[in-house]
Structure 1
């Protein structure tokens, strides 16, 4: 008799707790020595950008800032990572059986770096003023599920994650306002006694109430060890600690972001614009990681063979 596949879906109790707090984990995906080997190899592989979705441009547009978005579309290890059953089963528990991965990105933090500012995202229009994901009218809360995987240890003193549980139910930011990109001014600001930044933006510019402040007394820190991941709503108030520099080791995290197939990705736009960069979406596609795609309003990529990166369907 053949062995039955593992089922990593949330139990009813785990799902109820996730809906209450807005996050779950950490869960182990790789053993520490395994992810150390894989990440060392992958770092070298990522230097080859010949197949990357977003290309560096020479016209001064700053597209180099986007160069490591969506590397799951051209890198074999990351392509397999976003489809791991330990991730996908849990994500599908929340979103339903038909799921797309619509974005992935890296989050390094070096010794001495400031913490990432408190923020929420429902449409990801925060940097460009135009929605990057759009749920059907009245069909869901907005936002996406972020699966944040630590490729190195991500403890509090190395820039680990912070959440304010339960805050995914209320948006405190208006993403249509658009933030001003000013890396000289906004890289590191002292907020409530902590050095924080948001990649050249000041997230406070989006506040619905300019006098509102996150209630940091309710914040929790989540240590994520190398090879572990957490899942959280992008609408959840989240941030990260500064990297204290007590160790010189870099913190590296990789985020994969998931939505139901009913959600429109980059609706009505042909370029992605943020963080000082502008790049064409001509080579971009979502990835179906679970179920079926019945809507036809998103470009979808496919696996060529097991262990190889994705290619956009014609």
Structure 2
């Protein structure tokens, strides 16, 4: 893939793109001023308590599945729908992925005082929980895989309250086999310890997917992504990433919002009608990807038009 963001105000330079390719991440960079994001999140977190239009609302709420209920709120929130298409984000993603880009998923990542850190992991097809790929790249791009995640700090993210960690360059080799299936146990949440750090994976143990059972991530190479509200970091999902625990008490809740992007050539949730994770399942009947840049000439995926208010669904 070549530099595709020319003419866009926030496009990556050749040097920045090379750094992204080498390290697997770019940033942090500013999307909103800290005061602007703090005020917006104070307002919007209350609005998001209304799940009447959420695409997984009733199913996720009735099952108690808070993880899936955090998915894809950009499909009912105008604030989040606008966020995923912000130029400081999309221009940089286009630089890496090419001119035609979908946002296929968003997720909230809260970390409350006392919460364990998220364990080291990589995601290529996002089949880690169900064993079924959630994204599939075309054969002609076999050297690629995964998704570009843009993780935006809606609150301050520090080492003490649970900011992200990366191992630079680790996206070049997958250490996990996502065709294996992890086993969900909610009793694992906030009870795990990996070495000297409290780390878990939302009720799963990511080590069950290791190709080499003796593999241990080299945390001596890890870097911590301290971020202000309104800053974002862009990274390949195949990069080894984790987060610190929120050490609490006295720490604020850390809130991150992840938007995930792929080229329009990628198939999203191929041959599946539901998301099966965290001990439950929700229907994809009301789901659709959002075209944030360019055109979709492939027609692989159902699209949602979030350029207007409310839900306007169409099939490609």
After TM superposition, is the score higher than 0.5? yes
Residue 162 of structure 1, aligned match among 165, 169, 172: 165
Residues of 2 paired with 1:120 and 1:6: CA distance? Answer: 30
C-alpha displacement of 1:276: 2.1
Does residue 200 (structure 1) correspond to residue 200 (structure 2)? The answer is: no
Unaligned runs of 5+ in 1: none
User: Does the CA contact (< 8 Å) of 1:73 and 1:79 recur in 2?
Assistant: yes
Q: How does 1:1-314 map to 2 (within 5 A)?
A: 7-57=9-59, 61-140=63-142, 141-245=144-248, 247-305=250-308, 308-309=309-310, 311-313=312-314
Residues of 1 paired with 2:224 and 2:55: CA distance? Answer: 34
Residues of 1 paired with 2:155 and 2:60: CA distance? Answer: 33
C-alpha displacement of 1:303: 2.8
TM-score (norm: length of structure 2) = 0.94
User: Does the CA contact (< 8 Å) of 2:75 and 2:306 recur in 1?
Assistant: no
C-alpha displacement of 1:62: 4.7
Q: Classify 1:90/1:290 alpha carbon distance in 2 versus 1 (closer, same or farther; 3 Å).
A: same
Determine helix, strand or coil for the equivalent of 1:194. coil
Q: CA RMSD in A?
A: 1.7
1:30-52 per-position Cα deviation (integer Å, ceiling 9, x unaligned): 11111111111111111111111
User: Does the CA contact (< 8 Å) of 2:27 and 2:233 recur in 1?
Assistant: yes
Moved more, 253-262 or 240-249: 240-249
User: Does the CA contact (< 8 Å) of 1:55 and 1:279 recur in 2?
Assistant: no
Residues of 1 paired with 2:311 and 2:82: CA distance? Answer: 10
Moved more, 295-304 or 71-80: 295-304
User: Does the CA contact (< 8 Å) of 2:190 and 2:198 recur in 1?
Assistant: no
User: Does the CA contact (< 8 Å) of 1:55 and 1:63 recur in 2?
Assistant: no
Count how many residue pairs are aligned between Structure 1 and Structure 2.
Answer: 308
Q: Classify 1:40/1:137 alpha carbon distance in 2 versus 1 (closer, same or farther; 3 Å).
A: same
Q: Classify 1:304/1:40 alpha carbon distance in 2 versus 1 (closer, same or farther; 3 Å).
A: same
Residues of 2 paired with 1:222 and 1:186: CA distance? Answer: 23
Determine helix, strand or coil for the equivalent of 2:41. helix
Residues of 1 paired with 2:36 and 2:139: CA distance? Answer: 43
Equivalent in the alignment of 2:4:
none
